[in-house]
Structure formats: structure tokens, C-alpha cells
Amino acid sequence: MNFKKTVTKLLQVALDKNPSLFLIDLKIGFDKSIVILLDGDEGVTLESCVSVSRQIEHNIDREEHDFSLEVSSVGVGSELTISRQYKKNKGRTLEVISLDDEIFKGNLTKADQECITLEWETREPKPFGKGKLTVKKTKKITFASIKKARVIIK
């Protein structure tokens, strides 16, 4: 079995042991450097990263493969890349940039396998007379039309 398949299989075993964790990215370099980026439904603890690291490190023969291993979690301001991350962040404020460079900032109210729904309030001119009204806006955005999305930390 080749190195990448071995790492992938061991990583899957580690993730199966902790189903609240999910893989965001796996990179294996030509120099056998392994970089694993995780997220979790309830966040990622240091113990979770250590557990995944040990599952891989203790099951690959160092005599056969000289490798480096880094297991970490996504950062607070990291981009959201998979639907499970959106579901995890329901109720939080997101900034979403669409493929046509429109920017939406709003509260994530829904997330499913195909799209998200953002809600926000804005001030708009009254239909008659002077002044402005506060209006609630809703925007449904498909994952296919999202260029970038991230959680806004206040």
C-alpha cells in the first residue's frame, strides 16, 4: 500500500473514533510531510488533535517512511469550505462574497447540503415622505455561487 493511502486510511480510523470531527484538508508533500486540518461540530480540542496525530504516527513504520506530521484545527477567521461548517455556525454572523463579487453580511439562519440563508436588517427610505425604515432582508445563496465565506467575530 502506498504512503498516501496508508495515511488516508489511518486518518479515517481516527475520524471514525470521534464522529464530531471532520476533515477540512489533507496535504501530503513529496517529502512525506503530512498536514491535516480539522474542524468539529463542537469545535476541536487539543486532545482531539493529539488523538488523530497518534493514530497516524503510531501506525506508520518510521524505519520505512521518514515523515513529518502536523494536525491542527481551523482558525477563528478561516474561510468556511464545506456544508458541515455552515451548519455548525448557524446563528452566527457571516460575510459571504459571491462569484460576482457581491458582499453579504448577515445572520446565518439556515444551512443545508445545497445553500445557506442569511438575514440582516438595513435602513431604507420610506415609500412616502421623509425618513427611513428598518427592513429585514433575506438572501438564499447556493454553495456553487460562494467565492468566500467566513464568520465575523464581533
Domain map (residue ranges) of the chain: 3-73, 83-151
Q: Tell me how crowded residue 124 is: count the other CB atoms within 10 A of its CB.
A: 10
Predicted TM-score (pTM) of this structure: 0.82
CATH for 3-73?
Answer: 3.30.300.20
* Mean per-residue pLDDT of the chain: 94
- Checking if the pLDDT of 85 tops 90, the result is yes
pLDDT at residue 154 greater than cutoff 80 = no
Find out whether 108 and 85 touch, Cβ atoms under 8 Å. Answer: no
Residues 6 or more apart in contact with residue 153 via CB below 8 angstroms: 76, 77
Domains 3-73 and 83-151 fall in the same CATH topology? no
Q: Between residues 28 and 1, which one has the greater pLDDT? A: 28
Q: Which fold has domain 83-151?
A: SH3 type barrels. (2.30.30)
Angle at 40 between CA 144 and CA 76, to 5 degrees: 75
Q: Is residue 1's pLDDT more than 80?
A: no
Most confident of 64-68, 107-111, 126-130: 107-111
More confidently predicted of 131 and 77: 131
Alpha helices in 18-129 (DSSP H): 46-57, 83-88
